[in-house]
């Protein structure tokens, strides 16, 4: 008899046969979608600010906010994509639908940048520039937010669908899954590298419509490849949305807020099936425990004439403890948002800085958006050094394979704060050159390579904080809420971009006088160095709050009597190959 995967089915709805489904090839087909998604999103994001300013004639602060709002919405919509995948569509259908949406969005963007009617007339010598009208900006927004919607649906499901192709209960396949998971970020970074080099060059030197058209065609090709593997995939059964489970616990706790907790916690309701892991009660956030108090009217009849608990009236202790585990993550979640606010500056104001500086290498002119190649290079170099040098040394010294997830996030926050400090110093020098040479000079006699330190520091910071956050939110969350915790991680990226938009708007309002202020329409007249300095100061304060949160989290999870999970065994009838 051939072996099957207990919690997965094939395309016909039958138990998935290990010899005919899953493995590296199906996982690679899913990975191809993610690479193209990153190529499209980053290829558009890192160079969009120059198009908004140079072609659509938008002020620098408006251009920066359009980019950060677009990127923030992309990551925020991951929650919607995850909810649809968990509750209704499943991961494969979610990927197929949202990849189509993104392909349509990039196609519309290619058309919008090609037709003269969809952009304002060019201005002469940077004078009498007519900004884009409402219709022209509306078409651009339509394209961008279709792309954002597609990105949200894809990011929430692709990595999970890739790991679905491996059986965690099979030792050999578990090793393969870990290898796939560890290399996932590397290949995604390679997609980013192609976006900020090849794609940005095509946009600037050949034509934006061609660059965006390549994104649309690439997604169509990736979709065809994805669909070609329908018969080879393993499809995991949906267990329902964790968001709904959390809302049920909160609803039950609010409904029973006036009831007294029993002296004996064993009287709290818990009928978690033996096939799952039961979580022991913890003495924290006791208000949520009231959701597990049995009261009159909590049970209803089922189709067999018996009674079952109404999940909107009564929760299990295990379900309550799962929500508690998610609540414990929130302080770490909140204190990692600011990193992505500093990250947003690398895609907006740092690109605007680059556009004013000397970018020639011989006869070759480096596109301003391509400066982010140093950002991506820093990520790849940091990952390689950490994997090959730091981890072996740390294992010999401390006996552990590398830094903990909390330590990696701390390193990322520290590097981003240092990066903003260096960025403020570099911008102060650039403004001095602009003052001496003339603020209206199109290209200052200052090499763009002066921006490398800020790109490199924040890029290295991302290598630490991204992997640390991903590891933290997955390993410290309940088994049934892995998708939810991944979505929680991605919302830090989303909120980081939105915080950037908020800060830009506030600073513009407080310091702006006409076209002047810290964030002037022409940054040669502004004080971008002060804005970077403000972010560096906020970074120091945020780092201190993070350390307090990390110490609190570690103390609570290590406290005797804390989170304990008891495994109730494997599913009955499961066989090993």
Whether 13 maps to a domain, the answer reads yes
Share of the chain above pLDDT 70, in %: 91
The verdict on 358 and 440 lying in the same domain is yes
The verdict on 235 and 253 lying in the same domain is no
The verdict on 232 and 260 lying in the same domain is no
The verdict on 347 and 400 lying in the same domain is yes
pLDDT winner (highest mean) among 88-97, 154-163, 333-342, 358-367: 333-342
d(CA 383, CA 195): 19
The verdict on 205 and 259 lying in the same domain is no
pLDDT digits (tens, 9 = 90+) for 218-245: 999 999 999 998 888 888 876 667 788 8
The verdict on 449 and 381 lying in the same domain is yes
Whether 569 maps to a domain, the answer reads no
DSSP 182-194: HHHHHHHHHHHHH
Q: In a 3-state reduction of DSSP, which class is residue 270? A: coil
The verdict on 521 and 391 lying in the same domain is yes
Neighbours of 265 (CB within 10 A): 16
Contacts of 508 (CB under 8 A, 6+ apart): 61, 517, 518, 519
Strands, E assignment, 152-305: 235-236, 278-279, 299-301
The whole-chain average pLDDT of the chain stands at 84
Pairing state between β 299-301 and 235-236: unpaired
What's the pLDDT at 566?
A: 44
Domain that holds residue 340: 329-563
User: Nearest 5°: CA angle at 104, between 138 and 92?
Assistant: 130
**Three-state SS across 511-565?**
HCCCCCCCCCCCHHHCCHHHHHHHHHHHHHHHHHHHHHHHHHHHHHHHCCCCCCE
Q: How confident is the model at residue 182 (pLDDT cuts 50, 70, 90)?
A: low
Whether 576 maps to a domain, the answer reads no
Whether 115 maps to a domain, the answer reads yes
Whether 556 maps to a domain, the answer reads yes
Total domains in the fold of the chain: 3
The CATH number assigned to the domain holding 40 equals 1.20.1250.20
The verdict on 402 and 527 lying in the same domain is yes
Q: Pick the last residue of a domain from 208, 239, 270.
A: 239
What's the pLDDT at 273?
A: 67
Cα 45 from chain centre? 14
pLDDT digits (tens, 9 = 90+) for 440-451: 887 888 998 999
Q: Are 516 and 509 in contact, with CB atoms under 8 Å apart?
A: no
Whether 89 maps to a domain, the answer reads yes
The verdict on 283 and 196 lying in the same domain is no
The verdict on 167 and 138 lying in the same domain is yes
The verdict on 178 and 48 lying in the same domain is yes
Q: How confident is the model at residue 577 (pLDDT cuts 50, 70, 90)?
A: low
H helix or E strand, kind and range, residue 342: helix 337-347
Q: Pick the last residue of a domain from 194, 214, 239.
A: 239
Q: How many residues does the chain have?
A: 577
d(CA 316, CA 320): 6
pLDDT digits (tens, 9 = 90+) for 367-417: 887 887 888 888 888 888 888 888 888 778 877 777 888 999 999 999 999
Q: Pick the last residue of a domain from 271, 293, 325.
A: 325
Whether 450 maps to a domain, the answer reads yes
Whether 416 maps to a domain, the answer reads yes
Q: Note the pTM of the prediction, 2 decimals.
A: 0.79
d(CA 186, CA 294): 49
Of 392-401, 414-423, 477-486, the least confident: 477-486
d(CA 126, CA 180): 50
Sign of the CA dihedral running 417, 422, 425, 428: negative
d(CA 430, CA 362): 22
The verdict on 391 and 260 lying in the same domain is no
């Amino acid at each position: 008899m051939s072996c099957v995967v207990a919690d997965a089915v094939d395309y016909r709805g039958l138990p998935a046969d290990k010899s005919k489904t899953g493995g590296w090839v199906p996982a690679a087909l899913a990975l191809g979608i993610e690479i193209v998604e990153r190529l499209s999103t980053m290829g558009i994001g890192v160079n969009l600010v120059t198009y908004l300013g140079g072609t659509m004639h938008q002020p620098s602060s408006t251009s920066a906010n359009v980019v950060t709002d677009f990127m923030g919405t992309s990551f925020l919509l991951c929650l919607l994509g995850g909810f649809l995948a968990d509750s209704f569509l499943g991961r494969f259908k979610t990927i197929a639908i949202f990849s189509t949406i993104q392909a349509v969005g990039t196609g519309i963007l290619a058309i919008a940048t090609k037709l003269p009617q969809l952009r304002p007339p060019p201005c002469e010598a940077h004078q009498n520039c007519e900004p884009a009208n409402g219709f022209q900006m509306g078409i651009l927004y339509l394209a961008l937010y279709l792309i954002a919607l597609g990105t949200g649906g894809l990011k929430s499901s692709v990595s999970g669908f890739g790991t679905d192709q491996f059986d965690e209960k099979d030792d050999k396949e578990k090793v393969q899954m870990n290898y796939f998971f560890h290399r996932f970020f590397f290949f995604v970074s390679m997609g980013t590298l192609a976006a900020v080099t090849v794609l940005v060059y095509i946009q600037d030197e050949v034509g934006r419509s061609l660059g965006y058209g390549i994104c649309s065609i690439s997604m169509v090709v990736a979709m065809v490849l994805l669909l070609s593997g329908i018969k080879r995939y393993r499809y995991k059964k949906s267990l329902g949305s964790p968001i709904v489970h959390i809302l049920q616990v909160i609803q039950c706790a609010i409904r029973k807020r006036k009831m007294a907790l029993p002296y004996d916690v064993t009287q709290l309701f818990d009928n978690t099936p033996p096939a799952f892991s039961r979580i022991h009660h913890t003495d924290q956030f006791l208000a949520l425990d009231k959701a597990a108090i049995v009261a009159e009217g909590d049970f209803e009849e089922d189709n067999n004439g018996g009674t079952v608990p109404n999940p909107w009236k009564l929760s299990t202790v295990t379900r309550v403890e799962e929500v508690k585990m998610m609540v414990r993550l929130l302080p770490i979640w909140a204190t990692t948002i600011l990193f992505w606010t500093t990250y947003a500056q690398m895609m907006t104001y740092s690109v605007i800085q680059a556009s004013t500086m000397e970018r020639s290498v011989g006869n070759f002119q480096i596109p301003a958006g391509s400066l982010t190649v140093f950002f991506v290079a820093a990520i790849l170099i940091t990952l390689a050094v950490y994997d090959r040098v730091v981890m072996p040394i740390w294992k010999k010294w401390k006996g552990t394979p590398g830094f903990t997830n909390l330590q990696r996030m701390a390193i990322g926050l520290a590097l981003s704060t240092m990066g903003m400090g260096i960025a403020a110093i570099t911008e102060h020098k650039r403004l001095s050159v602009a003052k001496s040479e003339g603020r209206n000079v199109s290209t200052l006699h200052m090499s763009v390579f002066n921006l490398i330190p800020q790109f490199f520091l924040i890029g290295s910071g991302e290598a630490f904080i991204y992997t640390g956050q991903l590891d933290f939110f997955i390993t410290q969350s309940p088994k049934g809420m892995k998708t939810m915790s991944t979505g929680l991680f991605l919302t830090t990226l989303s909120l980081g971009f939105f915080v950037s938009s908020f800060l830009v708007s506030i600073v513009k309002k407080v310091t702006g006088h006409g076209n002047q202020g810290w964030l002037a329409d022409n940054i040669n007249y502004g004080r971008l160095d002060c804005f970077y300095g403000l972010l560096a100061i906020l970074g120091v304060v945020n780092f201190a709050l993070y350390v307090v949160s990390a110490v609190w989290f570690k103390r609570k999870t290590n406290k005797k009597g804390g989170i304990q999970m008891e495994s109730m065994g494997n599913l009955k009838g499961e066989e090993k190959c």
